[in-house]
Structure 1
Amino acid sequence: MNTGPSCADPRHVIARRAAREVARGQLINLGIGLPTLIPAYLDEPAAAWVHSENGIVGVGALARPDDLDSQLIDAGGGYVSVVPGGAIVDSATSFGMIRRGLIDITFLGALQVSAQGDLANWLVPGSLVAGIGGGAELAQKARRVIVTMPHVDKAGRPKIVTRCTLPLTASKRVTTIITEHAVFACSERGLRLVERLGAMSVAELRTITEADFTVDEEGA
């Protein structure tokens, strides 16, 4: 696995661990923000096909400031590259790939995730938001929905909750949560700690995780 840039930044801890979920040849979608860091940690740029819902199949790494195409952007407006063999498609084709269930994994950020895998990731309280966006279709139709996010919000409140209090993007669709501290699996039976990342103990994780969880032997 590519070690990528320095991983002192929690966002890179999350992105590096998320890259381990990707199998060679899969078609994956990256949400806005943190998920766009994941390609830097794949074994090679073409290890997986990265889909962007605005119409790119084969998104590469973020473009360098000295080598970017101002008309080549991902769904979040970031300047990107395209891997050899990649393609530019129209919106109907791009969303058709989503709606037909062809996306193997979508990596999404979140404001809240419940123990049963409910996802809330679009309405920021007190902010003007245009709408729910393409995340709703991705969360409903992708074969796996993996949330990559900080463990707590900027105010220090847990983002992994017993029940979401914000409007839902999708119900019971998140399979895996990856934060800078841990990896959790979600199911109707509740939350399960799969792996700890870093030095935080299970007891310490419970203090920053609202939802109760069980612990796999590997996560202990």
Structure 2
Amino acid sequence: GIRSASLIHRETNIPLSTIYYNIDKLKQTGSLKHRDENRRPRVLGGKEKKAIGQYIRYNNEITLNEIKENLSKMHHKSVSTSTISRHLHKYGYKNVVPQSTHMLTSDEKQRRVQWAKKRINDDFNNTIFTDEFSFQLFRNTVRRWTKNPNQEFKCSPKNRQKVHVWGAISVKGVFTCHTFRCNLNGSYYVSILEDYLLPAATRE
């Protein structure tokens, strides 16, 4: 093999200082492997990993900086947010914007439970459920990374538009759906039933 440091440098572009260091190491130890004491200790130990899991379960809206501060205060451990982020991703966590959903009051929840209990033995083979929902356009929910948060703006129209969706389902799956932008009143709802629900039910 090649034994000249300068030739190895020309062939591999490895810095000469690195080559000489490894040659000396090979002469002294007979190996190029790193000794165990030279390895960097793990930044996150078992206690810190357990603590992070508890933070997430207690408050899944906690930020990386808050986790970092908690580890510093409670465990006297200095850990970077990037290390915490890698740990959470390793265990399947993702930082996402939650989807919007209707907020039910305690009374609404209770009435839904009672309705389900009352009809637990009903036959729904000939039943169709319908509902409608509105999606607001130009919602500013996308996060950004920046060094100047106060200078980050997202243009949006003064009057934000909405898209309404009406849909129908049964035990057989999705029946049909319809999108519209006008206000849903009685006459328009009847037209939806006539133009979309009845034809879909007839096909089934």
Question: Would you say same fold, with TM above 0.5?
Answer: no
Which structure dedicates a bigger proportion of its chain to helix? 2
Which protein has the larger Cα radius of gyration, Structure 1 or Structure 2?
A: 2
Structure with larger RCO (C-alpha < 8 A, sep 6+): 1
TM-score, length of structure 2 as denominator length: 0.19
TM-score, length of structure 1 as denominator length: 0.18
Which structure dedicates a bigger proportion of its chain to strand? 1
